[in-house]
A = this chain, B = another copy of it.
Amino acid sequence: MFLRNQTRPIKINNIQVGGGAPVSIQSMTNTVTADAAATLAQIRELAALGCDIIRVAVPDEAAVQALPQIIAGSPIPVIADIHFDYRLALVAIRAGIHGIRINPGNIGDSERVRMVAEHAGNADIPIRVGANSGSLPDKFRSLPLASALVKSALEQCRMLEKFGFHNIKVSLKASEVTATVAAYEEFARHCDYPLHIGVTESGTPRNGIVKSAVGIGALLLRGLGDTIRVSLTAHPREEIAPALQILNAAGLRSAEPEIISCPTCGRTAINLIELAERVEQLIAEIKSAGKRVKLKKIAVMGCVVNGPGEARDADLGIAGGKEKVVLFERGKIIGTFTEADGFEKFRQLILHSCEPEND
């Protein structure tokens, strides 16, 4: 439906980012990194929910000490987030970290940058550099925000390129969605490094999910973005479902089955909201029992007359009317039932379609 922007590929351990690889989901632990057991428990929880790559803060020597255990136990690649202290980067690399987030502009003189580039180069791990609207250098502050972000990020890239290092991923984050989108667009015209996209400081889930969905979604639909993070002021587990839904909406992951359901209106003669929620619940139960539903699309419609036709591309559908429901497959009605009987039959048909998850 739309073309993805071609970026050069990098590898974060076993996960390729850019170069046409599937868009991956990132999050960041909020445990004290020095507490390896707590951090690993959180990483495992996030990985089970669908997180592909995890970042951990490495603020001090105690955090570095925990890295070998975290890296060894993590089911997904681990990136170290480092502010200012280049020595922490060097020891994190020595500990076997799969990627580094650091801005060379923040670590001091060029010799330190050279050392980080050399160590990361020898270990063959990528470095994410980036710009954040909250920490732009003064010299760029008079520019429009998007251009300032681009110039600042390019400057970070140049500092590493000077030492022959090109294993780079880039982020450009503003808390305004419009500036974020404009910045990534402008950057992609300059440079083919893979892009880590997200909207920064988007707030609590109440508002931050929509804000992130608009920003990340708009970028993905322009073909931009190789890895995403939905940043929320919330437990990181709350970041994963919206990230999956955004990829889904952008047509970059398929949630199977997709459940479509129509809005209610003054014509609806059944409790459609309750019915749609029962169907979602049913699918969730089947999935958590380790089974995989083989239907691509399931429809829950509020009208027995128009529903089957409107949802004719659904593999299975249920449409509710006054005191009855009809079930249909690809637009063809297969039976009319009372609501209780119809739902049970529907459940059986879905279960019948299943196979164990680890097939």
Contacts and interface: CB of A to CB of B under 8 A. Distances in A.
Interface of A: 1-2, 28-33, 39, 56-57, 59, 63, 81, 83, 132-135, 146, 175-179, 181-182, 200-204, 206-207, 209-211, 213-218, 220-222, 231-236, 239, 242, 245-246, 248-251, 255, 259-268, 272-273, 276-277, 280, 299-300, 306, 309-313
Contacts of A56: 266
Contacts of A220: 214
A220 B177 CA distance: 12
14 contacts: A2-B182, A29-B265, A30-B266, A132-B310, A134-B309, A135-B309, A177-B251, A201-B310, A210-B210, A210-B217, A213-B217, A214-B250, A215-B217, A217-B217
A27 B146 CA distance: 34
Instruction: Report how many copies the assembly holds.
Output: 2
B206 A135 contact: no
Interface of A is mostly: mixed
Contacts of A251: 176-178
A215 B213 CA distance: 9
Contact of A261 (B33, B177, B204, B214): B204
Contacts of A263: 28, 30, 201, 231-234, 236, 239
